[in-house]
Structure formats: structure tokens, C-alpha cells
Structure 1
């Protein structure tokens, strides 16, 4: 017999099935062997392929039949509306910064650095070692691997002034990304219906976590130098709030960095009101012309709850962060995290620790500083040349983002659509405000892919702005 390939038999049988009525019986395997002059194994392989594709079905002891095509009926989930009731809060959809776009697009919208800015070799080697170690088969402690807790504590302790007690490893809780930490902090320490002071504009993920926790957001205006301490004190007094969320270093989206004096003033206000400062130090590894000095290093009385993330600087695939808190606040956060996730993957913890303790990590950070500066300056120069209507309020000293104020009356939806039609993806600034936006803004990420395309992207933005204001 001449062995025919199974793919040829599949194609021939598909033609036959397309003209057969549902439920029609196919010839027996012996008949198909004779028809196609193929081996029984080859025929069986073809039939298995058609079965996996849902075109035929086998009935043991009876035969093989053309499968009936079932018309999908619309599913009715209306009963869930009554079962669930009204939502506690209207939650925003996923941020536009999380969109996936084609490789051909000029992407200014993403919140993550390009792959070439990551320590790729360190990460791959660390994951391989972690997979071969004990972490691959054991359950880590709820608060995190002791070695990783110690690393986070040492990082903050290294900049703690004399006379201030540095954090201990037992003050550290390892997190599956800082977003989960924000959720636990707001749920466990603020509580549903209670006020939370929050910088405006600020990180959209903090806004989302706070709303999901059901807390009441109270915006505190914050500019290139941070919030006005007097305005912050007034907000505490008027609302009775006991927590203020802020990003003192390279804030997302504005890139703002507080001066040491402003940080001390804010810490004094927080202490005077018996409150907490949640210091989100997500961009700690992204300094360009300055190096962050966390406010938490100046506090040993438990007023500052400190968040440090490695997700963006190590790898988005290794979602590891930590919260450093003291006293009952730490215990409440830990209890919430335990109820939510029980523990963080030991493999990811081991890999993260491996990366940041390698000699190559510091070399990577030094190179990263220069790469970010080059990209930032290229984008700033491109905006100033090709999009002069977009005002750069301040040049960020670190971080990943450039915050642009647009002319009053700019239609942001129209602008973003026109840019996208031309292959440039930007992020409208509305989602970074916990209340009404104070004007039209866009946030551009200068750590994205293909920096050589930044001038063209700025040119498209400038043309769209000009069209917007004709």
C-alpha cells in the first residue's frame, strides 16, 4: 500500500464532511484504509485530528459520525444583577497604560521600561538558579524569605541618620508587587468610608486600590516641589483623616521630587496629627541626577509606611515589592496579606534576591541612569522642537515619565485618537486625578521602546495639537 499522509486524509475528509448532514456516519477505518491506500495508523491519526477540531465524534461500538454544529445561544447572566446588588463603588477600568499595542506603534503610554533597560542576563540566570533550588518546592514564610526581608531592611537602614533606629528584617513584609500592598494598607489601616488624603495628581493604581477598598479620597494639590504643608495640615484638620498617600521621589505621573526640607515639613505635619504617611518609593532605582533619600529613614516611631518595589527595575515578570511598617500597623497589614495571598512565590523571591545581590546589579543601575538621562533629554528636546504647544512644567530628576500641560480647551479624547491613528500612543492625564482634572495633561514615558522614533512621535503630537486648536 502507498502510505498517504494524515494531513492529506484530513483535507479530503473535511471536504466530505462539509457536504454531509450532521450525524452522517463516516466509512469504517478499514474502508478508509482501502480508500486512501494508507496504513491504519495514518488513518487513525487523521481521525484524531478531526475529532480534536470538533468536526467528528466517535461512538464506541457504533462508528464515527459527523458532529452536529451547535448554534450557541446567548447566555443570560441577568440573575447576577439581583444576586450581587449595586456595586459598592464605581471602579475605573484598567489603565490605558496597560494596553498592549503593535510593535510598529510609537508607544509613549506604557508604565514600564523597555526590555533593553532591564538586567536581562541577571534575571534569566537568577530564575534558572531559583528553579533548581529549595524555593521551587517549599513554602516560604508569610512575611517573606528572611534573606529578602534583610535586604530590604538594609537598603533603608543604609540611609538612616544617626540617632534614628534603622528598620529590622521583622519590620518587612514581602509583597507580590506594591499594588497588593496599597490594597492591604488602605483596607487594613483606613477602612471603608473613612477619609484618605492623597496627592493630586497621583498614581492611578493608588486611586484604584483606594476606591476598591471603599475609602473616601480627599485630594491634596501637589506640584513640582510636592504638597504645601499648610494645605496638608488643613486637610487633616478638616477631614479627621489619619493617612496621607504620596510619592516623594519621581512621582508618577509628574516626575516631581520633594526637597529634604519639604519631606521634613510633611513628616512634621503627619506626626502632629497622629497620622501615617504612606511613602511609595516605586522609582527608587530610577534616579537620573539625584538619588532618593526616603523619608522613612528619618522616622522610627511608625508614622511612615514605606513601599519599595522591584517590579519595574528588575523585571515585570518578577513582581516583588516590600512594605516596611512598625507596630500594630505592620501586624494588620500582614494579617490582610495572609488572608489575601497567604504567601508570595518563593521562586520569585529567590530570583529577586539573587538579582539585587549580584555584583552586576550595581553596574546595571549605573548604566541605567545614563540610559534614562539620554532618553529623557531626547524626548524633551523633541517636544520642545516639534510640539511647542505642550508645556513641560518641570524636568524630572528621575523616574520614567514626562508630564505635559496642554493648552486650555484641548480635547484629550480627540487628541489621543488622532495620535493613535498616526501610530503614536499617548496616555491622557485624566486618570491620574482622584477628582476632577485641573486641566488637560498627557503623560509620556521616555523609557519605552525605540527611542530613535521619539522625534517622529513628538512631531505627530505637535501636529495633532495644532489641529486641535484651529
Structure 2
């Protein structure tokens, strides 16, 4: 009943605000409680929704008012159509995962973990310490802080078998998040009009970065243990590509982890083709049932271009990552990064290094591993109990997401709208396919919402699915 009352109050106040002058004061919460026969919590819920929509503004200690500034007549931007010409890609400006938060909704669309899964105490302390050093006032080398380069290189060295030389610190380039690294790699090593083999489905940001770079995508299907090596070989042979973008560990969106045999076979194919494997290890710190096994540890001659980001495991505000590359490829990527952004904030680099070298970092990762497992299992149970028609390909051994196949004939975008109208925000799976989707899918992030709300997810999905076929 509370939700219905909040909606009723919101609708009434929205109508009132539409006719009220700018800056008009709304009745007090006490007056609204009496007027609508609702609780103070319900009234506040309606006011928060109106504030989020930009209809009213709250001034602490004074009251709530209609927005003082009203939009004028719309500007005519038609001239820009001819000035800009045809866009290079038809992709939307923002992914569904980047949508702003919706008050009170169950939000499973985000690409990031909840705040309580981040090492907040370590991050805050590290930023304070970094601000007291010269890093707050000086620029860093274009390739990054030497100490942070050495840390990323040491992480790969730990996965390198005896007898193979691990990368040197110089071969680790610090970048402002792996997304910028992908853009540079695609521009520097592939180039406009050139083919790039890519898993399907795969990370939507990689698809977008490749399209913006003018790269021609050559998709290969990828399952719970990665792509079939024969499909990878065929894609290289037919396209003449010289690079393959892949996520061998805890892929976004599927959570898949390549088998050891698949990884070795793909490496052999890449070597035989004199090509590059662009290994995106975005979820290195987010293993649940297994640990990551980076393929770069088995690369001795520069075929693997490796990306690892700290954004998901340390903080979304700390856009720090690394590309590890050897030979001329390293120099080309560095040149592109220097032209794009010159260097990465030394303050953020210093703080990131501080966090990952603290004794509490390892303790934090162990705790997060168990919390991710609990959340993953609770959300999967909700789907099994409430929406048995939703098929989970597998329980992912790591990462942040469940990848769910819907019954054939489901209108995914209609389903997303129906779920949102019932207070559940999810991401349509269409964004993760570089070509036509192989079927109707959705992606659900089990790390970004209070797991106490998961029991409602299956029920809402079941209701919405009955209207989306």
C-alpha cells in the first residue's frame, strides 16, 4: 500500500508543480501527511522521487520548492546534422549499464560492485597519504609511476611458469582505466578498416571502442569454457585478422572461464598467425570458485597484449589500469596514449599502489570472494524459484554477473520496460553481441544491490515475461 500511496502523492504533486510558479514552496511534510492520509516515510519517498526527476528541490532547514529555473524554448540544433555528417557507429551514446540510478528500484544493471564490497577504509587513507606527497603537484612519466609498473609486472610474474621470462616493469604501461587502453590498442595495433576477431558475446565497451576506431569486427561464438579453437582458426583464416580480443577469465557478460586446453590452443593459433591476443583480465580480483590464470604468463615472445584494471576491485573513482605489451607493440600503444591523455594522474597512481600493497588488501579480497559467492547463489536461487523459464547457462566461477537466456520469442526490450515499471532495472543482452544476438538474453549484476532484495527478482521477472512474448 505504501508504494501505491507514494505514487498517488507523487502524481498529485507533479500536477501541482506543473502549474505553480518557479520557486513555489510545497506544503510541509506534516501538512502532506494530513492531506493524503499517508505516513511521513511515504511522503518523503514521493518527494525524493520528485527531487530525482528535477521537479522540486529541497533546501535543508527551509523547505521544499519547485525548481526556480524553468527551461526556455528549445534550441534548434538542426545545423549540426550537416556539420557532423553520418556517424561512424549507430551505437547509442550510453550503455544501459550506465543509466542513472532510479530511487527505490532493485538495480541489477550496473557494471560495478556495491560500495560495501570496496576497500573504502584503505582507499580513503591512501588518498589522504597521496595528497601529502609530491604526487599531488607533479606530473608522472607517460608510461606511469615506476613502482606501480613494477607491481603490475610482478602480478604477471607470479603466473609465469619456471623457464619463461616474465615481463619487465618497463613493459607495463599505466593507463586511465582499461577502456582507454582498449581504444589505444585497437587504434595502434589493428587500425581503421582492419579486421579484429572478437568473442560473441563479449564486453560492450570493447565493441564500442572497436567501432569508434573504425575496426571491422569478426565474431566467433564463445561458450562456458571459451570459444572453440577451430572457430578461432577459421575466423583468422577467412578474415586475415592479426588480433583477437578475448576475456579468458570471468568474461563479461557470461562469467565464462576458458579451460587450460582452450587457452593453449588459442595461443598456438595466435603464434601460428603472427597475431596478437588482446587479453582483458578485468575481473582478476573477483574470482569465486576458481582463481584467474592469465594467458600472458605463458607468452614469451610478445603475442599477448594484457590489460588489468583496478577500477572494479579498488574503486570506480580510481581509474587506474595497466597494459602489458612487449616489443614495438608496446611503443605504439604508449605513443597513442601519450597523444590521447599525456599521462595518468600521479595522485591516483600513488593511491592505487598504496591500496594494493597494504596488508589489508589481501584480507579484503578474501572477504569479497565470500560475499560475491553468497550474492551469486542467492540471485540464482531467486531465478530458479521465481522464474524457472529463465535459463542460466552456468553459475559463473567469478566476476560480477549472471548471464540468462530467455525463452525464444521473448521481446527483450519489452521485458526490460515491464521490469522497470515493477521496480527492477536490468540490462538487455543485445549490447554484448558484436553482430545479431544468438537469442534473447539479459545480464544481471549480483554485486551491485542489497541481496536482501533478491527474492523479489525472480517474481518480478516471471510477471514481466508473461507480457513480453
Please give the TM-score of this superposition, normalised by the length of structure 1.
Answer: 0.84
The alpha carbon displacement at 1:260 in A equals 1.2
What is aligned with 2:317? 317
What is aligned with 1:206? 206
Note the residue ranges of structure 2 that are not aligned, 5 or more in a row.
1-20, 25-67
Deviations 1:267-321 (A, max 9, x none): 0011111100000000000000111010001002000000000001000000100
The alpha carbon displacement at 1:72 in A equals 5.0
Given that 1:91 and 1:212 are in contact with CA atoms closer than 8 Å, whether structure 2 keeps it comes out as no
SS in 1 for 2:219: strand
Map 1:5-84; keep pairs closer than 5 Å: 74-84=74-84
* Counterparts in 2 of 1:453 and 1:212: CA distance versus 1, 3 Å: same
How far apart are the structure 2 equivalents of 1:75 and 1:244?
44
Given that 2:109 and 2:444 are in contact with CA atoms closer than 8 Å, whether structure 1 keeps it comes out as yes
Given that 1:390 and 1:405 are in contact with CA atoms closer than 8 Å, whether structure 2 keeps it comes out as yes
What is aligned with 1:45? none
How far apart are the structure 2 equivalents of 1:411 and 1:247?
28
How far apart are the structure 1 equivalents of 2:82 and 2:443?
40
What is aligned with 2:216? 216
What is aligned with 2:177? 177
SS in 2 for 1:144: coil
How far apart are the structure 1 equivalents of 2:93 and 2:209?
12
Given that 1:402 and 1:445 are in contact with CA atoms closer than 8 Å, whether structure 2 keeps it comes out as yes
How far apart are the structure 2 equivalents of 1:401 and 1:418?
21
Deviations 1:147-181 (A, max 9, x none): 00000000000110011110100001001000000
The alpha carbon displacement at 1:71 in A equals 10
RMSD of aligned Cα (Å): 1.8
Please give the TM-score of this superposition, normalised by the length of structure 2.
Answer: 0.84
How far apart are the structure 2 equivalents of 1:286 and 1:367?
11
How far apart are the structure 2 equivalents of 1:338 and 1:282?
22
Given that 2:88 and 2:211 are in contact with CA atoms closer than 8 Å, whether structure 1 keeps it comes out as no
SS in 1 for 2:278: strand
Given that 1:203 and 1:252 are in contact with CA atoms closer than 8 Å, whether structure 2 keeps it comes out as yes
Given that 1:92 and 1:208 are in contact with CA atoms closer than 8 Å, whether structure 2 keeps it comes out as no
Note the residue ranges of structure 1 that are not aligned, 5 or more in a row.
1-14, 19-54, 56-68
What is aligned with 1:149? 149
Given that 1:118 and 1:314 are in contact with CA atoms closer than 8 Å, whether structure 2 keeps it comes out as yes
Deviations 1:42-71 (A, max 9, x none): xxxxxxxxxxxxx9xxxxxxxxxxxxx999
Map 1:120-135; keep pairs closer than 5 Å: 120-135=120-135
* Counterparts in 2 of 1:414 and 1:77: CA distance versus 1, 3 Å: closer
How far apart are the structure 1 equivalents of 2:415 and 2:186?
35
SS in 2 for 1:217: strand
What is aligned with 1:32? none
Deviations 1:208-231 (A, max 9, x none): 000000000111110111011011
Deviations 1:318-348 (A, max 9, x none): 0100000000100000000000000000000
How far apart are the structure 2 equivalents of 1:104 and 1:89?
34
What is aligned with 1:294? 294
How far apart are the structure 2 equivalents of 1:161 and 1:345?
33
How far apart are the structure 2 equivalents of 1:79 and 1:106?
41
Given that 2:386 and 2:462 are in contact with CA atoms closer than 8 Å, whether structure 1 keeps it comes out as yes
What is aligned with 1:454? 454
How far apart are the structure 2 equivalents of 1:456 and 1:232?
40
What is aligned with 2:273? 273
Given that 1:389 and 1:465 are in contact with CA atoms closer than 8 Å, whether structure 2 keeps it comes out as no
